[in-house]
Structure formats: C-alpha cells, structure tokens
Structure 1
Amino acid sequence: MRDVWSLMQRRPHFRRLWWSTVIAELGNWLSYIALSALVLARDGGAWQLALIFAAHLLPDAVLAPITGPLADRLDRGALMRWSHIIRGGLTLAMGLTAIAGAFGLLQVLLAARMIVGAFLPPAERAALPSLVEDDELDLANRLSALTWSVLFTIGVALGGVLSALFGPVIALFIDAGTFAAAALILRGLPPLRADADDLGPLRVRRLFGELWSAWRATRPDPELRRVAVSKLPFALLLGGSWITLNLAAFDLGGAVAGAALLGVLQAIRGIGTGVGPVLAARLGQRLGHPIERSGDLIAFVAVAALIIFNSPVGLAIATFFWGMGAGHNWVWTTTGLQRLAPDARLGRLSAIDTLVVGLGATLTCLIGGALSEHLGSVHAGALLGLSLGFAAWLLLGQRSRVRAGDPAYPDAAGSRA
C-alpha cells in the first residue's frame, strides 16, 4: 500500500485519471445488474441476456478501427472527457425510457452508450504510459485491477440491492450523474497527444488498413504480437460463462432474490479480480520470474466448477477463482502491451486488444445464449466458452514472458523509440 500511496503522490495526473475511473465505474456497475434485472423481470430469457451483453462488448470491437487510430491522432484526455459526457446523457435517457416501459428503445440507447464508451479504453490505455514512468506501469495496472475489483464488488452488490428494493431505474439515474463527475475531474489533465506525426487525416476507406499496418509493424517483435492477442482465450471463456452465471443466479433465487444473488456473485468475482494480480506478483517475486499462464488455467477450472456446483456457496467459490484468473490475465497482458508497443502505435494496438476481447466474448455469448434457450440448459453457455477458450489457449501456446530487464526482449525505452 505504501508503494501505491507513493505513486499517487508522485503522479498527480495519474491520480486524476484514477479518480475519474473510480467515479464513472462505480455508477457503471450499479446499472450493470439493473439491466439484467430489467431483462429477466420481463421473462426475456437467455437470448435477451445475450443481446444485453453483446451491447456492452460488441461496439468496442466493431469501432476498434476508428477508436484506435483516433487515440493515436487526437488528445487522449479530450476523448475520455467527451466519452463520459455523452454517456451521461444517454444513461439519463435510459432511465427515462425504463420508466416509460419502452424496452426496445432502452436497448437502442444502451447500444449507443456502449458505442460512445468504445472510445475510452484505447485512449485510457494509451495515455497511461505518459502519466507514469515505465517501471511504474506494472504497479499502476495492478492498482487499476484492484480498483476495478473494489468498484465492481461495491457497484454490482449495490446495484443488486437497489434493483431488488427500489427498482433498476434508480441505479440508472445515479450512473448518469457519475459520468458527469468523471468528465469534470479529467479537465485537469495535460495535453495527451501521441508522438506520431505521420499518420495524416483519418479516412474511412483506410480504417481497417490502419489497424493492419500497426499489426504488420509488430512482425519483427513476436513477443509484442503474442501479447496483443493473449486475451482471446479468456474472452471466449467470458461470454458463454456470463450467460450461465446470470441464468444460474435467477434460477436459484427467482425474479427478486435472483437480482440480489447475482449482485453478490458478481461482487465476489470482482474481489477475485483484485486478489489475483496481487498474489501472482508476490508469487512471481518469490520464484524470480513472472507467472503468466496460470491466470487462464485458474479461470478454466473455475468455470468448470461453475458448471458442476448448483448452490449459492458453490457458485460463490467458482466465481471468486474465475475473477482471480481474469484479473491476472488482464494485468500481465495490458502491462506487456504498454511496455513493448511504441507510443505512436499504442492506441491502435490497444484497439486490436479490445477487438479481440469484444469479438471473442460476443461470439460465445450470442451462441451460448441461443443454445441455452434452445436446449433449456443453464450451463450451455459455460460449456461452449470453456471448450473454445481452452482450444484457443492451446493454439496460442501462451509462451509470452514479459519481464522488465529480460535481455531476450527489447527494453521499454527501446521498444517505444
């Protein structure tokens, strides 16, 4: 904790970015459970759940050819601010739409909100190396994972309770206010333009070409190329397992208690997300080298347990270890990408990372939702995600060894030259 406190004191601009994330994400997770509750309260079923999840993830993937190049051209701080402002307005409209009972319009507004939100992750990840030193990146990302864990835990738990006691609309209105507050905090950031000056204007016909050119530029560095797609196995696991977790919670708890149970389970998963990177870092220090493959393996075993156990306690244990694996995977892949990628291409490579996660999770979510509804099986989604995720993990090999000072790989300064 002293290292974290010292980092926050030394890097005021990083502290500002962190606070904006705290406020926006807390509200965001409040509405996360609210939306699931709105769907299942209307007997929407697994397919409607899958559409809600796809609306959360697919815009990030579809817009990656735009968001990545923009993050390498425009001020990354301005992109983040406007993303928060517009999402706040859309979330307010979602609350009003829910009151009116226009569920179809609510889904459209959610999709619009996620489209605008797609501009945030590439800009945020690309901005971080400009706000901290290279040897602080791992700590900053572990803090981000821990923060996400705490906020997810508090947010989904409160969202479940609020949805059960007062209805999901209240959570949506609170979420709208948090976006506005986050945008105000980001006004204090310095200019955060990329070091690139040779990209030229962004042209629609060259959108995928820009991502492809950034990908081709990784050819001399197979380690960077491997890290850029290392979230794929977990993404495939995530989509189908998310369907199973939601269905299992409401199957055990019913319409009202199910929302509260889902909030608790998601909160437990969030705690695991924060614990995983911390334990992995400590174990890596004792062993003398970083641990990378373990995160996915832990998540695979946890989702297998999610299928086997059919009790609140069993689901809680499974979701905790699922979260541990998720948090560890996110930290080491994100830190590796930030260390190895040149600043001029970091936005586009971060967009490729987002594209991999969005398409992978959406694929298993939609197919898993359709299978669950067609077969009447709560576990069909998790079985699909586990099968495809493990197959992708075997194919990729996951041999990446991102380590500071390892002579086998370019150092941070050289990789950003």
Structure 2
Amino acid sequence: MFDRIRPYINLVSNNQAYRRLWLSQVVSNFGDWFGILAVYALITRYSDSEFLLGLIIVVKMMSLASFSPFAGYLTDRFNRRRIMIMCDMLRAVIVAGLLLVVSYDTLWLAYVLTALQMMLSAVFEPAKTSSIPNVTTEEELVDANVLSAASWSIIFTLGMGFGGLATAWLGTDLVFIIDACTYLLSAWFIYRATIPQERMSEAELKRTRNPITGIVEGFQYLWNNKQIMRPTLAKAGYTMFLGALTYMLILISEDVLLMGSVGIGLLYSARGVGTGVGPIIGRRIFSQEKDWVRAMGLCMIFGGLMYAVVGMTTSLVVMLVFVFIAHAASGANWVMSTVLLQRRTPDTFRGRVFSTEWLLFTLAQSISVLTASWVLENGWLTIQQAMVVFALSLSVIGILWHNTIAKDEEAYQENLLDLSTAEKR
C-alpha cells in the first residue's frame, strides 16, 4: 500500500513549487465546497423555488463560460502567478460580501456576487492547470494530476460534509467568513511559489495585443489541431447530463430522502470520494495513453448506468454506493483529458486551450441544469424519473463518443506509429 502512494509523497516532499501550488488548491477548494451549501441554504431560506435553486448553478456556470475566452488570453499573455494571487484576494472580498444577503429583497446580491466570483475562477483555474506542467517533470505530470484530483475529492468530501453540518449548526455567516479566509491563505501559498512560464515572443505579444485577435488565434489553433480538440471535448461531453444529475442530488435529499443539508453533504461526499479514487483506478485499467480517448467514452456509458440506479432507488446506502461509482468514472475521465491537453499543448497556447475547455464545460453544465430545473419546475417528470432519463442520456453520449471521436483518435495513433516506424528506418 505504501509503495502505491510513495510517488505522491515524494512529489510533494521534493518538489517545492508544486507543493505550494497544490496547497493553494487544497485550502481554496475546501473553502469553495465548505461554503457552497451555505449559498444554497440562503436561496432555500428566502425562497421556495426549485427554479431559483437551479438558477444559482446556472449563474455560476454561465459566468465561467462568458469570461473564459478572455481569461485564457490573460493567462497566456501575463504572469500566471500574479494573476492567481490577484484572483484569490478579490474572491475573498466577494465571498465576504455574501454576508449582506439578509432577505428575499437582497437575494439578487447572491447571484451577482456568485457571478463575479466565478468570473475570477474562470481566470484562476486555467492559470493553475496550465502551470502544473511548468513545475513538474514529464515523469511527475501524471502523478501531479492524479494527486490534484484525489486532493480535490478529499477536500470536496470534507468540505461538503463539514459544510452541511456547519451551515445547519453555525449558520451561513460564519461559513462565508471561513470561505473568505481560505482564499487569502491560498494567495499566500502562491506568493511563496516559484512558477516558471514560457512567455510569448515579442512578435506574438505585438500581434495579439488586441484581445480579440489573441482569443480568435487560440480558437483557430484548437480547430486546426484535432488531437488537442478531442480531449478538450471530453469534460463537456460528460457534464452535458452529469451537471443535471449532480444538481438533482440536492432535490433527492430534500424530496426523496427528506434529509436536507445532511443528506446533500453525504451524497456529495460520496461524489467526492469517487472522483478521487477514479483516476487511480482508471490509470491501472488504462495504462497506455493511446487508449485514453476511447476510455473517456466508456466512462460516460458506465457513469450514466450507475446514475440510472440512483434514480430508481429510495435507499440512502444504495445511492451512496452508486454515486461513488459513477463519479469514479467521472474522475478518471477528468484526469485523462487534462493530462492529454497538458502534454499536447504548447505553453503559450495552454491558457487559451484550457479556458476553451472550461467554456465548453460550463456551457454544457449550464444548459443541463437549466433544462432539468425547468422540467421539474413544470412537473413534467418526477425527480426520480428525470434522474433516470438524464442518466440514460449520458450513456447514449458515451456510445456516440465511442463510435466517432474514439475512432478518430485511433486513426491519429496509427498515423503516429507509422511515422515513428518510418523515422526508425
């Protein structure tokens, strides 16, 4: 057992720059998940609308999506370390502003502040993900991403679990204060880290001084390099229906399990643990990177089938088990697509590629959640019926992926093999 975790221990112990970047992720992620249930609690406290609850998720995702193209341009053109510090400090101020939401009449403020917080996250996330290859060796890169995913899941589990209890016992105000402090601590870790970055050439800087030019250039690069486009689509393809399914877990806890914030905390904790374990399992099953694009489609099929079981049961234990398994598949998909993008994309385009990935991901999730909330608001399906429909739809997307995009990747891998064989001759 110790031999399996030794590479991750060595990575954190010996690589100071990655360790500090990783610690910033740990503390800020804890605050994010610790505080998110408090935002949901505000909405349910001052309104009784399933649509308004779904709308806060849509606002988060659409804010990420709308700012993502400009965010990618910023993270390729300017110093990523400084950008991340600035984003953390501003997010601390914004989260503290949620203390001003005290009635239905001020509930709009929660949506505005959440939108601003997510716009900053749209800058921070591609800057962080683009920086990981710059603070690790080729051999460390996969371990670094697996550790980041595992850490995310552990923090997600603890944050959601403690956040549900803290929201119920301590109240939302104290939760928001703790959340703001985590951003400040994250900024301090990044301030102490050394994060190299390949800068654009003078010609590139001059050519892309107009943000529109830089953004369009990033889209053109992605379109012209299909080997990069394929993993860019993986997260969006998965969340096209998974976004609605994770949203419906909130309503399952409220309406089926009748457990409120505690039930949400437990279900989301199972989600978090699965997301962390999945990349480790996936790495063992799919040890060859050439198989990863095909594996992404298999993960979609499997994850959808697991969520269909969640929609057909009323047992908390069964739900926890199958939510865990479904998100193990999701976590494997996430890490495989991230590593492929990091390996295949040059540093000066990496921010724009990852921001485009975020754009597609957040648009897909927003549409997914909005559709599910509208269906439920109008009573067209019960919560359990809706979960089964969206789950089976996810499996259909996986089948389509397996029969189209995975086949294009296989042709690309065969071409690489032919070129390699020709060079050896």
Q: TM-score, normalised by structure 2?
A: 0.88
Q: Which residue is equivalent to 2:107?
A: 103
Q: Which residue is equivalent to 1:9?
A: 13
Q: CA deviation at 1:206?
A: 3.5
Count of residue pairs brought into register by the alignment: 406
2:314 matches 1:310 = yes
Q: Which residue is equivalent to 1:260?
A: 262
Change (3 A) 1:172 1:202: farther
Map 1:270-285 onto structure 2 (within 5 A): 270-285=272-287
Residue type of the alignment partner of 1:278: I
Please give the alpha-carbon distance, in whole angstroms, between the structure 2 residues aligned to 1:389 and 1:358. 16
Q: Which residue is equivalent to 1:415?
A: none
Q: Which residue is equivalent to 1:269?
A: 271
Change (3 A) 1:373 1:348: same
2:173 matches 1:166 = no
Residue type of the alignment partner of 2:387: A
**Partner-residue secondary structure (3-state), 1:44:** coil
Please give the alpha-carbon distance, in whole angstroms, between the structure 2 residues aligned to 1:7 and 1:341. 23
Kindly indicate which of the two structures has a greater share of residues assigned to helix: 2
Q: Which residue is equivalent to 1:216?
A: 223
C-alpha contact 1:368 1:380 (8 A) present in aligned 2 = no
Please give the alpha-carbon distance, in whole angstroms, between the structure 1 residues aligned to 2:410 and 2:178. 42
Residue type of the alignment partner of 2:394: G
Please give the alpha-carbon distance, in whole angstroms, between the structure 2 residues aligned to 1:287 and 1:107. 41
**Partner-residue secondary structure (3-state), 1:119:** helix
Q: Which residue is equivalent to 2:327?
A: 323
C-alpha contact 1:80 1:124 (8 A) present in aligned 2 = yes
C-alpha contact 1:74 1:194 (8 A) present in aligned 2 = no
* Deviates most, 277-286 or 243-252: 277-286
Q: CA deviation at 1:294?
A: 3.3
Residue type of the alignment partner of 2:280: V
Change (3 A) 1:10 1:67: same
Q: Which residue is equivalent to 2:96?
A: 92
Let me know the Cα RMSD of the aligned residues: 2.8
2:146 matches 1:142 = yes
Q: CA deviation at 1:282?
A: 2.1
Q: CA deviation at 1:37?
A: 2.1
C-alpha contact 1:247 1:378 (8 A) present in aligned 2 = yes
C-alpha contact 2:306 2:326 (8 A) present in aligned 1 = yes
Residue type of the alignment partner of 1:234: Y
Please give the alpha-carbon distance, in whole angstroms, between the structure 2 residues aligned to 1:189 and 1:125. 15
Please give the alpha-carbon distance, in whole angstroms, between the structure 2 residues aligned to 1:10 and 1:99. 50
Q: CA deviation at 1:161?
A: 0.4
Q: TM-score, normalised by structure 1?
A: 0.90
Please give the alpha-carbon distance, in whole angstroms, between the structure 1 residues aligned to 2:88 and 2:351. 19
CA shift digits 1:88-147 (9 cap, x unpaired): 000011123348972111221111111111111111111111000122111111001100
Map 1:16-165 onto structure 2 (within 5 A): 16-98=20-102, 102-165=106-169
Identity %: 24
Residue type of the alignment partner of 1:209: V
C-alpha contact 1:50 1:365 (8 A) present in aligned 2 = yes
Change (3 A) 1:41 1:313: farther
Please give the alpha-carbon distance, in whole angstroms, between the structure 2 residues aligned to 1:74 and 1:396. 36
Unaligned runs of 5+ in 1: 412-417
CA shift digits 1:369-403 (9 cap, x unpaired): 11111116214653564355344434433524799
**Partner-residue secondary structure (3-state), 2:281:** helix
Please give the alpha-carbon distance, in whole angstroms, between the structure 2 residues aligned to 1:73 and 1:177. 29
Change (3 A) 1:185 1:107: same
Residue type of the alignment partner of 2:192: G
CA shift digits 1:292-319 (9 cap, x unpaired): 4432222111221121112212321221
Q: CA deviation at 1:186?
A: 0.6
Q: Which residue is equivalent to 1:350?
A: 354
**Partner-residue secondary structure (3-state), 1:9:** helix
Residue type of the alignment partner of 2:261: A
Please give the alpha-carbon distance, in whole angstroms, between the structure 2 residues aligned to 1:165 and 1:393. 41
Change (3 A) 1:372 1:113: same
